[in-house]
Structure 1
């Protein structure tokens, strides 16, 4: 396990990411009612409705779980630069926590998009780092 010690921040980020998705999962059900749900059970599309924003924050986190986990684990397993792997993973999680707060508490689209972009570029950088190290 010593070989993974250098990646402690990235591994902790994976754990924090799992906690964030779990919290968002429960929080996404708060405020749902028969009046604000579609036939599928999801809240109707309305960004002024906090229940809809909570659902979207959760679903967006779920959608990005795969790429984040894949890029981070690939970086760790291939032995990419530990500082960069830890940095990308840590910034991603901080940006996504901020995005979840903005997404669920406000209708501030530009700020939400900014945090999304930060997370996106962290995952992209992490993936490029892993591939470049592998080649």
Structure 2
């Protein structure tokens, strides 16, 4: 029953998985101007290969917190409207962030979009905690 009420949140998780896979594929395209000893592109935001690699790595770094917060919010019976809204806003902000990360060097916009996603994760986690302890 809760899954049906949180359909947007569940769809956001599925779409997030597809976005991360797309970023994975994009991260392998092209040759970096300079590579580190580890094989990854050297830090250079003017290099599109580096930006694609960072967009993918950033998505990976955010995946576990997003999944944990969203799934616990759903499982705890948190308010579905808020769970759906926050999960959807997270996804949209991260789609835009990936586009900004890959196509531009606009650091303030990338940071703002990252912050929006970060706040959504915090909101989802707080919804779960409130539902568990006070619901």
SS class of match (1:37)? coil
**Aligned partners of 2:6 and 2:74 also within 8 Å:** yes
Runs of 4+ in 1 over 6 A off after TM superposition: none
* Distance apart, 1:28 and its partner CA: 0.5
RMSD: 0.9
Task: State how 1:29-48 maps to structure 2 within 5 Å.
Answer: 29-33=28-32, 35-48=33-46
Question: Gapped runs of 5+ residues in structure 1?
Answer: none
Residue 52 of structure 2 is aligned with which of 26, 51, 54?
54
TM-score (norm 1): 0.96
TM alignment of 1:19-98, pairs within 5 A? 19-33=18-32, 35-98=33-96
Instruction: Give distance in 1, aligned partners of 2:51 and 2:10.
Output: 29
Number of paired residues? 133
CA contact (8 A) 2:35 2:41 kept: yes
Gaps of 5+ in 2: none
1:117 to 110, 115, 118: 115
For residues 131 and 75 of structure 2, the distance between their equivalents in structure 1, rounded to whole angstroms, comes to: 10
2:131 alignment partner in structure 1: 133
Residue 11 (structure 1) aligns with? 10
**Matched residue SS, 1:36:** coil
1: CA distance between counterparts of 2:92 and 2:120?
11
How far, CA to CA, are the matches of 1:108 and 1:3 in structure 2? Answer: 39
